[in-house]
Structure 1
Amino acid sequence: MSETTGLSSVNKDKLVSDLRVVVSDADEILRASASLAGEKVSELRERIQDRLRDAKLRLADAEAVLVDGTKAAARATDDYVHENPWKAVGIAGGVGLLLGIIIGRR
């Protein structure tokens, strides 16, 4: 997995987390404004509910894509390790050695 893929995965996780917070806050605002009366408020609540419903659907889609991507990466890694066990051991050993050197210098 490349560094850009790792970073985009972190960004996707952050985006999904942020969207969850926004959806939760919007739900809370809608519940709090339920007692307000008036035509404008009613129209605004309906628009917010529609957009919130759409956001929830997009959030579910984004989570599904993120989970599928993670599973695909895990499968690819597993396949690679099974096909090339000694290379995988060598790479893991090299990464461990580099980390040991870096940590040892601090």
Structure 2
Amino acid sequence: MMEKIPTQSGATDQLLSDLKGVIQDAETWLRQSTQLTGDELKAAKAKFERTIGKAKEDIVRIEQTVVEKTKATAKATNEYVTENPWKSVGLGTAVGVVLGMLIARK
């Protein structure tokens, strides 16, 4: 009924690594910018731009993964509710009662 969707932790880890790289490259570039010659400055800028580009690609990939997971979850929920309407009503009622009791306690 529910399909298994791959986790995004690897992509998140890669994104964090890329963002750390962007920060490190920026710090290095700022520290050395007064000492770098024309070609060295161009090379440092190109490396910085590549790192930023990779981080942007990782963000897009994570966003696509989240959208796919959300769609799959919505589809699975819709299928479950369609196949089990009375169970869904009962579950919703139970959750409502519990939340009402918790709110009333305060």
Instruction: Determine if the TM-score, normalized by the shorter chain, exceeds 0.5.
Output: yes
Structure 1 residues 8-19: aligned runs within 5 Å: none
Task: Give per-residue Cα distances to partners, 1:6-45, cap 9 Å, x unaligned.
Answer: xx99x9xxx6xx97xx6xx98xx8xxx9xx8733322211
What is the one-letter code of the residue matched to 1:60? V
Matches within 5 A, 1:1-106: 38-106=38-106
Larger displacement relative to structure 2 (59-68 or 38-47): 38-47
Cα distance per residue 1:42-80 (max 9 Å; x no partner): 221100111111111111111000000000000000000
Question: Which has more helix, going by share of residues?
Answer: 1
Tell me the C-alpha RMSD between the 2 structures.
3.0
Task: Show structure 2 runs of 5+ residues with no match.
Answer: 1-6
Structure 1 or 2, whichever has the larger Rg, is 2
Instruction: Please list every run of 5 or more consecutive structure 1 residues that lacks an aligned counterpart in the other structure.
Output: 1-7
Structure with greater contact order relative to length (CA < 8 Å, sep ≥ 6): 2
> TM-score normalised to the size of structure 2?
0.64
The TM-score, its normalising length taken from structure 1, stands at 0.64
Paired letter, 1:82: T
Give aligned-pair identity as a percent.
33
